[in-house]
Chains A and B, each alone.
Chain A
Amino acid sequence: MSRLSHLQALEAESIHIIREVASEFQRPVMLYSIGKDSSVMVRLAQKAFYPGPIPFPLLHVDTTYKFKEMIEFRDQFAAQLGVKLIVHSNTSALQAGANPFRLGTERCCGLLKTQSLLDALRAGNYDAAFGGARRDEEKSRAKERIFSFRDSLGQWDPKNQRPELWNIFNGRVEPGESIRVFPLSNWTEMDVWQYIHVENIPIVPLYFAKDRQVLVRGNSLIVPEQDFVKPQLGDKLETVRCRMRSLGCSPCTGAVRSDADTLPKIIAELVAVRNSERENRVIDHDREGSMELKKREGYF
């Protein structure tokens, strides 16, 4: 009997979700973070509406502290795809000098990511926003619905989520309320990498190992792209062969030592790796359950 492979099954499920959103909502938007998961999500959107175009814009919430290579990649990617790209930044917070060193990572994320995202969604009057989050990333995400309801303040109430059965999604909202949609909910990091490989999906070169100048701080390797990232006591500036396992803001996203400079080598590394990918993200470790707290407030 014919049965789909796990990647085919995941693809079919994600396409179904993306089509439901495009059909049921007035103004959907797809959050585009430039990372590998976003790249996969955009490919699935292309597949969902083929031979038609993607019927919604992409939205990038830019903290302005992203890696330079990410921004170059973003602009090229959007141009090639012919899709509308909206870039939003919290300019007033940035003008007031917001950065993770002055404010701490928690407040900085709150202003430049969460607040900025909520402002962008409100400005566009979007009633549905796709995000590339996966349930295997973090414990509180394991319980989030594929269609995740947000009240008029953009907040998530984990104890009061809509039950979600079969592949039937309830996307009914009142004006001002919205739904965050996670078409990659059931994908794992391994699935994403395999799909990128099989489908030949372009990704930011930062994912591939090469010699980079980094600040070595304990186990963290920080790329000093921003002026305010300065060596502290005990830091060493070194050239290290390394790569990013996940992409975020350059001051808060550490590289990992690696020789994986091709997709097969990345996948081989993943097979061996015993540390989950978010470990190098400073923000998840702020305090116990920190991702859940951020999500309640509106973070993706």
Chain B
Amino acid sequence: MSAAFVEEPSQKFDIEQFLAAEESKGLLRLTTAGSVDDGKSTLIGRLLHDAKGAYEDQLKSAVRGGQIDFSLLTDGLRAEREQGITIDVAYRYFATIKRKFILADTPGHEQYTRNMATGASTAELAIILLDAHRGLTTQSRRHAFIATLLAIPNFVIAVNKMDLVGYDQEVFNRIRAEFEPFLERIGTKNYYFLPLSALKGDNVVDRGSHMPWFNGPCLLEYLETVDPADNMVQAPFRMAVQRVVRPDQNFRGYAGQIASGTIRPGDEVQALPSGRRSKVKRVVTFDGDLKMAHAPQSVTLTLADEIDISRGDMISSGTPSQSARMFDATMVWFDAHPLDPAHDYLVKHTSHTVPARVDGVRHLINVATLESEPATSLAMNEIGVVRIATAKPLFFDPYKDNRVTGSFILIDRKTNHTAGAGMILAAAEGSLEDAADRLVRLVRAAVPEGSQLNLPSDDAQAMEVVRGLLKGVLK
């Protein structure tokens, strides 16, 4: 009964008890990739249906030939219904008593790599669907690669259509043995192999009786209990300023959504690009000041000192972000117009938009073979490593460490299209601010606007601070 939304309400339905349970209910964002042939729509339709995410009048409109065609529940656009394919990312919602789920449903064909990347960008779990009858395909590898590239922390490798192979354990084991080395090679984390039949319902919401040889949790149970392994709360504090809130002369706050880490009044923070340091005075919200806030909350910070901070600046603490005008990134190309190093682009990174150009394509990644290939451009749906040069320095962390401060989009300045999405690898060698630059900034940062040096009065402590700063400079 764990699958149902909640039990049928009775006279005894206690709303306070229900709402109290809802209070602690978390959210899991997941993505599926797969083609119609893999039975993806059938799987999602079944999840929605059995977990009561699809309502009855929607079910009625999905009846074909007296039976529910689950794929009709999910294909929303007219063109898709006409052609029987999925051409865009669709978001689905369902909930159980344990969790609420947001599912980004993406098409699986090669020409929709960009949609897959879109769905994967916000996901904490990916379901990679493959067909037991056909075995491992190039497409399954591509799905796993893209989901891993987008740094999704959890995977379910769903071996579907087990009914077509007589629920044979050998078939399942063979596919697992073939796929595992690939997943290890690309660095996929926390993967769970699961045999199922979406059509018959085995191991989706209920276990069914056809695969007694498999003892792991069924799909929904796994989704309800998997630890999202979200380490963003433990990471160093980062918050891009979206807006300066200044209703009157007495209040000046910096509004943003915390990208990572936690923050408390009294914490020391640094503002970039000015480099100035201050302490958090208040963590302000409509519902009252907070003693502590963490990612991904939206808050407004006030600081102890009047320092110049505006939209696009980064407030951070702990290990400093990297700062560079030139960096390497893995890019997924979206636009019909191929990447062009002579073209003018804008980078939108956190709340910061700056003019940029592409300073060369380092290589293209063949998604089927994972080989690097030489390239001078990227066409739609291609993935490659490029070097980006920006008009102003960006303050970032590598994408593998921080999916918020390590990601950006590239906007075509002529058409305003979102031309591509990037995941920052590292600052280009030699492009980190040079030491003198950085010293000047640090010294300026150390001298508050009043001009008194903002170092501890104790000499030994002050030296320790300077030594710490220099260490960063000279590394």
Q: Which residues of A contact B (CB under 8 A)?
A: 1-13, 15-16, 19-20, 22-23, 46-53, 135-136, 139-143, 158-159, 161-168, 170, 172-174, 185-186, 188, 190-191, 194, 197-198, 264-265, 267-268, 271-276, 279, 288-289, 292
User: How far is B102's CA from A194's CA once the two chains are assembled, in angstroms?
Assistant: 17
Could you say which of B27, B99, B122 contacts A4, with CB atoms under 8 Å apart? Answer: B27
Please state if B76 and A168 are interface contacts (CB–CB under 8 Å): no
Please state if A5 and B26 are interface contacts (CB–CB under 8 Å): yes
- The answer to whether the Cβ of B93 comes within 8 Å of any Cβ in the partner chain is yes
Which A residue sits closest to B242, measured CB to CB? Answer: A19
Please state if B19 and A142 are interface contacts (CB–CB under 8 Å): no
Could you say which of B55, B92, B311 contacts A276, with CB atoms under 8 Å apart? Answer: B55
- The answer to whether the Cβ of B58 comes within 8 Å of any Cβ in the partner chain is yes
User: How far is B233's CA from A172's CA once the two chains are assembled, in angstroms?
Assistant: 32
Q: Contacts A22-B243, A170-B348, A170-B416 given: A279-B93 contact, CB under 8 Å?
A: no
Please state if A165 and B118 are interface contacts (CB–CB under 8 Å): yes
User: How far is B411's CA from A13's CA once the two chains are assembled, in angstroms?
Assistant: 22
| Closest beta carbon of chain A to B104's beta carbon, Å | 10
Query: For chain B residues 401-434, which have a beta carbon within 8 Å of chain A?
Result: 403-404, 407-409, 411, 416-418, 421
Interface of B, helix, strand, loop or mixed by DSSP: mixed
23 contacts between A and B (CB under 8 A): A1-B233, A4-B27, A6-B27, A6-B100, A20-B242, A46-B286, A50-B245, A51-B247, A135-B93, A142-B92, A143-B90, A159-B87, A163-B334, A165-B407, A166-B403, A167-B122, A168-B408, A170-B411, A174-B416, A186-B91, A268-B9, A274-B52, A292-B78
Please state if B25 and A142 are interface contacts (CB–CB under 8 Å): no
Could you say which of A11, A23, A172, A188 contacts B298, with CB atoms under 8 Å apart? Answer: A11
Contacts of A13 in B (CB 8 A): 257, 296
Contacts of A9 in B (CB 8 A): 26-27, 296
A-B pairs with lowest CB-CB distance, top 6: A276-B55, A139-B76, A264-B15, A15-B298, A165-B121, A52-B247
Please state if A50 and B284 are interface contacts (CB–CB under 8 Å): yes
Q: Which residues of B contact A (CB under 8 A)?
A: 5-6, 8-9, 13, 15-16, 18-19, 22-27, 52, 55-58, 75-79, 81, 87-93, 95, 99-100, 102, 114-115, 117-118, 121-122, 228, 230, 233-234, 242-243, 245-247, 251, 253, 255-257, 262, 284-287, 294, 296-298, 300, 311, 334, 346, 348-351, 403-404, 407-409, 411, 416-418, 421
Q: Contacts A4-B297, A20-B242, A168-B348 given: A194-B19 contact, CB under 8 Å?
A: yes
User: How far is B88's CA from A268's CA once the two chains are assembled, in angstroms?
Assistant: 35
Please state if B9 and A167 are interface contacts (CB–CB under 8 Å): no
Contacts of B117 in A (CB 8 A): 163, 165
Please state if B296 and A4 are interface contacts (CB–CB under 8 Å): yes
User: How far is B58's CA from A275's CA once the two chains are assembled, in angstroms?
Assistant: 8
Having A52-B245, A163-B334, A173-B416, one finds 4 other A-B pairs with CB under 8 Å, namely A6-B25, A23-B242, A143-B77, A165-B117
Please state if B242 and A159 are interface contacts (CB–CB under 8 Å): no
Contacts of B262 in A (CB 8 A): 2
| Closest beta carbon of chain A to B383's beta carbon, Å | 14
Contacts of B5 in A (CB 8 A): 271
Could you say which of B55, B89, B245, B409 contacts A275, with CB atoms under 8 Å apart? Answer: B55
User: How far is B15's CA from A66's CA once the two chains are assembled, in angstroms?
Assistant: 32
Contacts of A51 in B (CB 8 A): 245, 247, 251, 253, 284
User: How far is B296's CA from A159's CA once the two chains are assembled, in angstroms?
Assistant: 31
User: How far is B401's CA from A145's CA once the two chains are assembled, in angstroms?
Assistant: 27
Contacts of B78 in A (CB 8 A): 288-289, 292
| Closest beta carbon of chain B to A243's beta carbon, Å | 17
Which A residue sits closest to B79, measured CB to CB? Answer: A159
Please count the residue pairs between chain A and chain B whose beta carbons lie under 8 angstroms apart in the complex: 204
User: How far is B361's CA from A235's CA once the two chains are assembled, in angstroms?
Assistant: 70
Q: Contacts A158-B77, A167-B404, A186-B91 given: A5-B257 contact, CB under 8 Å?
A: no
| Closest beta carbon of chain A to B249's beta carbon, Å | 13
User: How far is B10's CA from A192's CA once the two chains are assembled, in angstroms?
Assistant: 23
Please state if A162 and B15 are interface contacts (CB–CB under 8 Å): no
Which A residue sits closest to B245, measured CB to CB? Answer: A52
| Closest beta carbon of chain B to A146's beta carbon, Å | 10
Contacts of A53 in B (CB 8 A): 247
User: How far is B95's CA from A50's CA once the two chains are assembled, in angstroms?
Assistant: 31
Contacts of B77 in A (CB 8 A): 139-140, 143, 158-159, 289, 292
Which B residue sits closest to A23, measured CB to CB? Answer: B243
Q: Most B CB atoms within 10 A — which of A142, A274, A292?
A: A142
Which A residue sits closest to B413, measured CB to CB? Answer: A172
Contacts of B87 in A (CB 8 A): 159
Contacts of B25 in A (CB 8 A): 5-6
Please state if B13 and A271 are interface contacts (CB–CB under 8 Å): yes
User: How far is B181's CA from A103's CA once the two chains are assembled, in angstroms?
Assistant: 65
Which B residue sits closest to A52, measured CB to CB? Answer: B247
Please state if B13 and A268 are interface contacts (CB–CB under 8 Å): yes
Could you say which of A4, A10, A52, A273 contacts B246, with CB atoms under 8 Å apart? Answer: A52
Which B residue sits closest to A15, measured CB to CB? Answer: B298
Which B residue sits closest to A47, measured CB to CB? Answer: B286
Contacts of A5 in B (CB 8 A): 22-27
Contacts of B18 in A (CB 8 A): 267-268, 271
| Closest beta carbon of chain B to A207's beta carbon, Å | 16
Please state if A271 and B91 are interface contacts (CB–CB under 8 Å): no
User: How far is B298's CA from A46's CA once the two chains are assembled, in angstroms?
Assistant: 13
Please state if A188 and B421 are interface contacts (CB–CB under 8 Å): no
User: How far is B296's CA from A13's CA once the two chains are assembled, in angstroms?
Assistant: 8
Q: Most B CB atoms within 10 A — which of A5, A165, A170?
A: A165
Q: Contacts A6-B25, A49-B245 given: A166-B122 contact, CB under 8 Å?
A: yes
| Closest beta carbon of chain B to A229's beta carbon, Å | 24
| Closest beta carbon of chain A to B60's beta carbon, Å | 10
Contacts of A168 in B (CB 8 A): 348-350, 407-409
Please state if B242 and A135 are interface contacts (CB–CB under 8 Å): no
Which A residue sits closest to B410, measured CB to CB? Answer: A170
